[in-house]
Amino acid sequence: MPTYRLGNDLDLDAVLACYRACSLGGRRPIDDRARMATMLAHANLVISAWSGTELVGIARALTDGVYCTYLSDLAVDDRHQRSGIGRELIRRCREHAPQATLILLSAPQAVDYYPRIGFTRHDSAWMIKPGDPLV
C-alpha cells in the first residue's frame, strides 16, 4: 500500500524521476531544473505518494484554500498506475481545501480519466499563453 505525504519539501531529483516515469515528463520543463524547482517551491499544495522510499506519484497544486484549487500536475509512475493513486492524490487535495473547486487542464492521455472519476467538463474555460498578445 502506498503512503502519502503533504508538503513540497521534496528532493527535486525524486520529483523529476516521477515526472520522467510517466508521460507528464514530456509535457513539463523537466530539463530546466531551476524552473522545476521554482514550480515545486511555489506550489502551496503538494501531495506525494510513496512506495517505500520511492516517490511514485505527485499532485502539485496551487490553492487559496477556500475557493479554488488549480491542480497543475498529476503524475503517477507508469508502474503504479491504475492502482488508485491518482484518485487518492485528488481526494487528498480536495480534503485539504474542502470548500474549493478543483480546476485543471487535462493532458491528452487523461481526457477520459477525469470524467471517469467524477469531474465535469467546463465549456467556458479560457487561457492565454505567455507571449500571446493581449489585444
Ligand X SMILES: CC(C)(COP(=O)(O)OP(=O)(O)OC[C@H]1O[C@@H](n2cnc3c(N)ncnc32)[C@H](O)[C@@H]1OP(=O)(O)O)[C@@H](O)C(=O)NCCC(=O)NCCS
User: Of 17, 54, 62, 84, which one interacts with ligand X (CB under 6 A)?
Assistant: 84
Question: Which of positions 11-40 make contact with ligand X (CB under 6 A)?
Answer: 22-24
Sole window of 4-12, 74-82, 93-101, 127-135 interacting with ligand X (rule: CB under 6 A): 74-82
Closest to ligand X by CB, 82 or 122: 82
Count of alpha carbons within 13 angstroms of residue 122, beta-carbon side: 11
Q: Establish if 79 lies at the interface with ligand X (CB under 6 A).
A: no
Cβ neighbours around 80 below 10 Å, total: 19
* CB-based contact 23:113 (threshold 8 Å): no
Q: Establish if 76 lies at the interface with ligand X (CB under 6 A).
A: yes
Distance CA 10, CA 12 (A): 6
N-to-C CA span, the chain: 51
Question: Which of positions 92-121 make contact with ligand X (CB under 6 A)?
Answer: 104, 106-107, 109-110, 112-113, 116-117
Query: E-strand spans in the chain?
Result: 3-6, 45-51, 54-63, 68-76, 101-103
| Size of interface with ligand X, in residues (CB under 6 A) | 22
Residue nearest to ligand X (CB): 86
Cα Rg of the chain (Å, integer): 15
Distance of closest approach, residue 19 Cβ to ligand X, in angstroms? 9
- For binding to ligand X (CB under 6 A), which residues are involved? 22-24, 74-76, 81-87, 104, 106-107, 109-110, 112-113, 116-117
